[in-house]
Structure 1
Amino acid sequence: MKQIFIKTDTQREWLQKLNEVGAEFSSRSAHIDEQSKFPMENIDTLVDLGYTSLTLPKAYGGKGIGIYDMVLFQETIASFDSATGLSIGWHMGVTGELYEKKLWDDSKLSFFAEEALKGALINRAVSEAQTGSPTRGGRPGTLAVKKDGNWEISGRKTFTTMSPALTYFLTSAWIEEKKAIGFFLLHKDLEGLAIEETWDVISMRGTESHDLVLDRVTVDESMLVEINDGPRGNNINGWILHIPACYLGIAQAARDYALRFALEYSPNSIQGTISELPNVQRLLGEIDLELVRSRHFIYSVAEAYDDEQRRPYIANELGAVKHTITNCAISIVDKAMRIVGAKSLQRQNPLQRHYRDVRAGLHNPPMDDVTIQKLAQTAIQKGTN
């Protein structure tokens, strides 16, 4: 189903590389989920392949892949293992955004490029228990205070995806003297920085999205890499499409399992397999319809974002893609479970894992209510023009 979206030799080359390790990734998924264990072996494989440096621009030693490429690759990885897909997606997305928007000065970008080429991994640490999702505008409770020419940072971050593997935490903190939110690049080995193992959820268990605890972590001025002191115009970020790409990959995995089951399962109450039953064919057809619709939507928006002439016209499409695909993925897994029946609820059955994992998409930004509200507000502001 995905073949028509492959456009370049680079895409074919990387899809082949990813498919070669796909069975290995898939074989670990049940254990990763059952033990709530981070897929370190999978991440190490991706680092060794050079995958994690693909979103670095060519000028910085990377391959300079775009959003479209990333979506294609991330969907594939997530179809093998959801925790691996979501985890590495954050690194790919954060890195892509940093260099596309030049969020840091060139010396800092050059420094991090060298680190990434050596295998360093990064994610933003922004969520906090008291503020909720940072996309809703809450001020961080984490504070950065200037002391003796350095910054001293204290606070706690939640939902720090990929915490066991991260080399750098791009951490938000409130700077009172600047009346602004600053982002500090914190290395994992800094004194006062610790990971508290709090991740105890039923979805995406292997991401180990634990709490990041900062107890008077001290860094020099150079590690204050971003300042957010107010609205920044059209601040769309196409790299967040790694999120719906992940859930699209999970939906594809659920579909493939249900199809194999339908082709093989033959109860003695019927002739042939259940794939010949009208109700099963209806569910399979509805699943593929949702996959086709979702896939064309995400790849068309990714392609538009990669086109610098079309990008300025993108408004709510990114949120709409995430909303659509997340909800379609939930529906697809539900239909797959209806095909398989009660067996889908067995702990050793991958569908129950897919069922739990796709629910996590509802809580990744942007939230459904925000997306719908923005669509409505845009319609009202523009009227019938």
Structure 2
Amino acid sequence: MLDLFIRTEVQREWVERLKEKKSSFMERGVEIDLLGTFPGDNIQELIEMGYTRSTLPVDRGGYGLRVVDMVLLQETLASYDASTALSIGWHLSVVGELFEKQLWTSDKMTCIAEEIAKGALLNRAASEAQTGSPTRGGRPGTVAVREGKNWIITGRKVYTTLSPVLTYFLVSAWIEETQSVGQFLLHKDVAGLRIEETWDTMSLRGTGSHDLILDRVRVSEDQLVEPGRRTTSGGAKPLNGWLLHIPACYLGIAQAARDYAVQFSTEYCPNSLNGPISQLPNVQHLLGQIDLELMNIRHFLYSVAEAYDDPSRRQLLKNELGAAKHAVTNGAISIVDQAMRVVGIRSLQRDNPLQRYYRDVRAGLHNPPMDDAVIHGIALSAIEGAKG
């Protein structure tokens, strides 16, 4: 089914390269989930194959992949191990957005490009316990205070995905003197920065989304790479198609669940039947529903990604990015549920991958944008449209 969406030789080559990792990544995924360990070996292999610079522009030492390319590859990777995919997806997304929008000064962009080309990993650290998701617009409790020619940053960030191996943290902090939220680039070895291992969830147990502790971290003035805006809420936010790595991950989980259910249905032969359960009408109905849902959400996601990559169509997008995430995540949850109905009680056994897919896919509901915000935005657009 995925072959239909491979449009270029570059895409095909990358998919084939990822397929070489399928067996080892899937095997490690079992242990990662069981022990709650970080997929360090997987990430290192992705660095070595150049995957972590795939969204870096060609003239900066990368491969210059587009959003739709990233979606294709992230879906593929997530079908092998979701924790690995979501973790590295944040790095790919930040890099893609950074260079597409040229968010920093030329010198800073050059420096970070050189680091990424060498294997450095980057992610934003924005979420806080008191503010919830940064997309809700809460003011960060993390503060940056000027001291001479330096900034002193103090605070705690939660859900800092990929934290065990990040080279750089892009940290949001409140700057009182300008009444704005700034973004500071912090190297992992700066004094006062440490990781507190707090990530212990039932879903995506290997993402290493621990707390980032900032205890009077001192950085130079030029580490304020994004001075930020004066308000923390309200106003239209710039489109960021690179966040489609999120629904791509959950689509990959759904595909893995589908594949397992289909294989099980063709192999399981109870003695009450003269053949496998795939001959049963109710099982065929479930499998048909699963593939129909996969078609729906995959076409939606890829069409939105392609529209974003086309500058002439991007300007026409309004709610489609959030809607794609909403549709794919909820559709993926439904697909995993139906796959478990095909397999039955065996799907709840600890050694069955479906119970892991069931837990992992639920995490999508808590990645941005949230369902209620998406629906609210669509409703407001409809109301405004009716006004003419």
Could you say which residue in structure 1 is the equivalent of 2:349? 346
| TM superposition score normalised by structure 1 | 0.99
Separation in structure 2 between the aligned mates of residue 284 and residue 112 of structure 1, nearest angstrom: 46
Could you say which residue in structure 2 is the equivalent of 1:307? 310
SS in 2 for 1:16: helix
Separation in structure 2 between the aligned mates of residue 168 and residue 305 of structure 1, nearest angstrom: 27
| 1:250 and 2:253 matched | yes
Could you say which residue in structure 2 is the equivalent of 1:58? 58
For residues 179-206 of structure 1, give each alpha carbon's deviation from its aligned partner in whole angstroms, at most 9, with x where no partner exists. 1000001111111101001111100100
- Within 5 A, what are the aligned runs for 1:196-211? 196-211=196-211
Separation in structure 2 between the aligned mates of residue 285 and residue 158 of structure 1, nearest angstrom: 40
Separation in structure 1 between the aligned mates of residue 207 and residue 15 of structure 2, nearest angstrom: 23
Q: 1:243 to 1:303 in 2, by over 3 A?
A: same
Could you say which residue in structure 2 is the equivalent of 1:163? 163
Unaligned runs of 5+ in 1: none
Separation in structure 2 between the aligned mates of residue 12 and residue 133 of structure 1, nearest angstrom: 35
SS in 2 for 1:208: coil
- Within 5 A, what are the aligned runs for 1:268-307? 268-307=271-310
- Displacement of 1:62: 1.2
Separation in structure 2 between the aligned mates of residue 97 and residue 146 of structure 1, nearest angstrom: 28
Letter of the aligned partner of 1:29 in structure 2?
A: G
- Displacement of 1:148: 2.2
Q: 1:144 to 1:275 in 2, by over 3 A?
A: same
Letter of the aligned partner of 1:283 in structure 2?
A: L
Could you say which residue in structure 2 is the equivalent of 1:373? 376
Letter of the aligned partner of 1:48 in structure 2?
A: E
Unaligned runs of 5+ in 2: none
- Displacement of 1:76: 0.3
Could you say which residue in structure 2 is the equivalent of 1:182? 182
Could you say which residue in structure 1 is the equivalent of 2:2? 2
SS in 1 for 2:201: coil
For residues 349-375 of structure 1, give each alpha carbon's deviation from its aligned partner in whole angstroms, at most 9, with x where no partner exists. 110000000000000000000000000
For residues 204-263 of structure 1, give each alpha carbon's deviation from its aligned partner in whole angstroms, at most 9, with x where no partner exists. 100021100000011001110002214775501000000000000000000001111101
SS in 2 for 1:178: coil
- Displacement of 1:320: 0.3
- Within 5 A, what are the aligned runs for 1:212-223? 212-223=212-223
Separation in structure 1 between the aligned mates of residue 11 and residue 363 of structure 2, nearest angstrom: 28
Letter of the aligned partner of 2:149 in structure 1?
A: G
| 1:237 and 2:240 matched | yes
Which runs of 4 or more aligned residues in structure 1 lie more than 6 Å from their structure 2 counterparts after TM superposition? none
- Within 5 A, what are the aligned runs for 1:66-77? 66-77=66-77
Could you say which residue in structure 1 is the equivalent of 2:38? 38
For residues 103-156 of structure 1, give each alpha carbon's deviation from its aligned partner in whole angstroms, at most 9, with x where no partner exists. 111111110000001100011000000011110100000000011210000000
Number of aligned residue pairs: give it: 385
- Displacement of 1:64: 1.1
| 1:228 and 2:241 matched | no
- Within 5 A, what are the aligned runs for 1:79-228? 79-228=79-228
Identity, % of aligned positions? 62
C-alpha RMSD of the superposition: 1.0
SS in 2 for 1:205: coil
Separation in structure 1 between the aligned mates of residue 291 and residue 170 of structure 2, nearest angstrom: 39
